[in-house]
Structure 1
Amino acid sequence: MSLPIELRSRFFKAYKQSIKAMNFTFYNDLQSLNKSKMLLKETVLNPMEMKQKMFKDLPESKEDLIKHLEDMNKILIQNVAQAKQKSKYKYELKMHDKIELGDNESIKENKGSQYKNKPFKRCCD
């Protein structure tokens, strides 16, 4: 991948941050950690082949791919929590201080907002 110098430094920074985000998020889950690192490596080193195989919405340009990496890092740190099974029906979430928490009131306010002003349609209509 040939990049101009400013994009190259931004790419390596984003790639390094991706690995740190994965290590932070999946620190006790070696299987998920290894799979995510392998997928990152395959996607970054050969993005057009991975686009055809798996990711139809992977960005075309190299700058967009770098932005995609940066956004992925943010999501991994702020929105992904690992769970550990305690018993047959109980799980314990491993939360950390960087996880973005919301309140139930904001969820209730936006409930169904994507369906407002759209006619209701059943499967048999």
Structure 2
Amino acid sequence: MSLPIELRSRFFKAYKDSIRAMNFTFSNDIKSLHKSKLLLRQTVLNPTEMKEKMFKDLPENKEDLIKHLEDMNKILIQNVAQAQQKSKFKYELKMHNKIELGDNESIKENKGAQYKNKPFKRCCD
């Protein structure tokens, strides 16, 4: 993958940040850590082959691919929590201070917002 100098430095920073995010998120799960790093390596370093096999919506543009990596890092750190099974029906979430927490009230307030100001139709209309 040949990149201009300014994109190359941004790409390597995003790639290193991806590895750091994976190490941080999957620190207690060696199997997931190894698989995620392998997938990252295959996807980023040979994107055309992986696009044909798995990712139909992987960005074509190199700047979009870098942006995709940066967004993935943010999601890994802020939105992914690992769970560890304690007993047959009990799991413990491994939370850290960087996880984005929300409350249920914000979800309840926006419930049905996509249907407001739209005419109601029944199946027989």
Q: TM-score, normalised by structure 2?
A: 0.91
Of stretches 54-63 and 109-118 in structure 1, the one that deviates more from structure 2 is 109-118
Structure possessing the higher radius of gyration over alpha carbons: 2
**Cα shift at 1:104:** 0.9
1:99 and 2:71 matched: no
- Once structures 1 and 2 are overlaid, which stretch shifts more, 112-121 or 54-63? 112-121
Moved over 6 A (4+): none
User: What is the CA-CA distance between 1:115 and the residue it aligns to?
Assistant: 4.5
| Superimposed CA distance per residue, residues 41-88 of structure 1 (whole angstroms, 9 cap, x where no aligned partner) | 000011111111111111001100000000000000000000000000
* 2:68 counterpart letter in structure 1: H
1:2 and 1:92, CA in 2 relative to 1: closer, same or farther beyond 3 A? same
Structure 2 CA distance for partners of 1:90 and 1:59, relative to 1, 3 Å: same
What percent of counterpart residues are identical? Answer: 82
2:87 alignment partner in structure 1? 87
**Aligned partners of 2:32 and 2:45: how far apart in 1?**
20
Q: Map residues 46-57 of structure 1 onto 2, 5 A cutoff.
A: 46-57=46-57
Q: Give the letter aligned to residue 67 of structure 1.
A: K
Whichever residue aligns with residue 86 of structure 1, its letter is K
How far the C-alpha of 1:121 sits from its partner, in A, is: 8.0
Gaps of 5+ in 2: none
Partner of 1:61: 61
Match of 1:7 in 2: 7
TM-score by structure 1 length? Answer: 0.91
Output the CA distance in 2 between the equivalents of 1:56 and 1:120.
36
Over the aligned positions, Cα root-mean-square deviation in angstroms equals 1.6
Structure 1 unaligned blocks of 5 or more: none
Match in the other structure for 2:78: 78
How many residues in Structure 1 have an aligned counterpart in Structure 2?
Answer: 122
Describe the SS at the equivalent of 2:84.
Answer: strand
